[in-house]
Structure 1
Amino acid sequence: MGILDKRQKKLFHLMTLEVVVYNLESALRAQEGGADRIELCDNPGQGGTTPSYGMIEVVRQQISMDVFVMIRPRGGDFLYTSDEFYIMKRDIWQCQKLSVDGVVFGVLTSEGRIDKKRCRELIEKARPLKVTCHRAFDMTRDPLEALEDCIEVGFDRILTSGHQPKAVLGAGLVGELIKKAKGRIAIMPGSGVNEDTVEEVIRKSAADEIHFSAATLKPSGMAYHNNAIAGMGSAEGGEYMVRTVDPERVKMMRKLAMGIIGQQKA
Structure 2
Amino acid sequence: MTVALEVAVQDVAGAVIAREGGADRIELCAALGATGGLTPSAASISETCAVGIDVHVLIRTRPGGFVYSDDELDVLAADIAAAVQLGARGVVIGALRPDATLDLAGTRRLVDAARTVEQTAGRAVDVTFHRAMDAVADPVAAITALGGLGVNRVLTSGGAARAGDGSAVLAALVAADSGVQVMAGGGVDVGSIASIVATGVHAVHLSAKTTVPDPGATGPGGGTAAALERTDPTTVAAAVAALRAAGGRT
**Does TM, scored on the shorter chain, surpass 0.5?**
yes
Q: Is 1:188–2:183 an aligned residue pair?
A: yes
Give the corresponding residue for 2:61.
73
- Provide the rounded CA distance (Å) in 1 between the counterparts of 2:140 and 2:22: 33
- Provide the rounded CA distance (Å) in 2 between the counterparts of 1:254 and 1:53: 29
- Give the Å deviation of 1:221: 4.1
The match for 2:202 among 189, 196, 208 is 208
Q: Which runs of 4+ in 1 moved over 3 A?
A: 219-222
| Percent identity of paired positions between Structure 1 and Structure 2 | 32
- Give the Å deviation of 1:157: 0.2
Number of residue pairs matched by the alignment: 241
* Aligned residues of 1:171 and 1:189 also touching (Cα < 8 A): no
Gaps (5+ residues) in structure 2?
119-124
- Give the Å deviation of 1:232: 2.4
Listed one character per residue, the Cα deviations across residues 136-172 of structure 1 (whole Å, up to 9, x for unaligned) are: 0111111111111111111000000001111011111
Q: Is 1:26–2:14 an aligned residue pair?
A: yes
* Aligned residues of 2:21 and 2:240 also touching (Cα < 8 A): no
Equivalent AA in structure 2 for residue 41 of structure 1: C
Q: Who wins on radius of gyration, i.e. which is larger?
A: 1
Equivalent AA in structure 2 for residue 167 of structure 1: A
Equivalent AA in structure 2 for residue 261 of structure 1: G
- Give the Å deviation of 1:218: 2.6
Tell me the C-alpha RMSD between the 2 structures: 2.2
- Provide the rounded CA distance (Å) in 1 between the counterparts of 2:64 and 2:213: 29
Equivalent AA in structure 2 for residue 232 of structure 1: G
* Aligned residues of 2:194 and 2:243 also touching (Cα < 8 A): yes
Give the corresponding residue for 2:73.
85
Equivalent AA in structure 1 for residue 46 of structure 2: E
- Provide the rounded CA distance (Å) in 2 between the counterparts of 1:117 and 1:221: 46
* Aligned residues of 2:96 and 2:132 also touching (Cα < 8 A): yes
Matched ranges for 1:89-108 at <5 A: 89-108=77-96
Gaps (5+ residues) in structure 1?
1-10
Equivalent AA in structure 1 for residue 196 of structure 2: V
* Aligned residues of 1:147 and 1:181 also touching (Cα < 8 A): no
* Aligned residues of 2:144 and 2:176 also touching (Cα < 8 A): no
- Provide the rounded CA distance (Å) in 2 between the counterparts of 1:55 and 1:99: 11
